[in-house]
Amino acid sequence: MGYERRRRSSAVLNLTPLIDIVFLLLVFFLLTAHFIEEQQVEIELPVASSSGAANELEHVEVIITPDGALWLNGQPLPPALDEAGLVAALKAALGEQERRRVRLRGDTEARFGLAVRVMDAARLAGATSLDILTEHP
């Protein structure tokens, strides 16, 4: 009896088309992705020797520029914003945060009266904590 040896088939998977598709998808996503640019306001913080490290808990940040413009969480506020409008904007930004913290970051040349106005509006908006950011010398 003549037994025939069974032929062993070797299945080899060609990965070249798969790698080509992966690279095409990578190029597609890199070309179509929208990279978000953060708007930065150039301010010079005042120096205080008693300043401590700021912890990064949830907070709302108000920036006062040297020319008196107000920014709330990186977005400029209208220049003719009255007290009630500032309180409403801060209330909306604070929202339903568990810890209602406001950080005030102002330029060295910013008007003190505007800083007091922001502090008062933060308290009226329900902020439980107000931090004034400075630089450590």
Mean pLDDT comparison of 22-31, 57-66, 103-112, highest-scoring range: 22-31
Whole-model pTM? 0.59
Report how far residue 63's alpha carbon sits from residue 86's, in angstroms, rounded to the nearest whole number. 13
**Domains of the chain, residue spans:** 60-132
% of residues, the chain, pLDDT over 90:
9
**Mean pLDDT estimate for the chain:** 81
Report whether 78 contacts 108 (CB < 8 A): no
Q: Residue 108 pLDDT more than 80?
A: yes
Report how far residue 30's alpha carbon sits from residue 101's, in angstroms, rounded to the nearest whole number. 37
Express each pLDDT in 53-102 by its tens digit: 555 567 888 888 888 888 888 888 887 778 888 888 888 888 877 778 88
Question: Where does 60-132 sit in CATH, by number?
Answer: 3.30.420.270
For CA atoms 13, 14, 17, 19, the dihedral sign is positive
The stretch 39-65 carries a mean pLDDT of 70
Least Cα distance to 93 among 71, 112, 108, 109 occurs for: 71
Residue corresponding to tokens 């992705």: 33
Residue corresponding to tokens 């990186």: 74
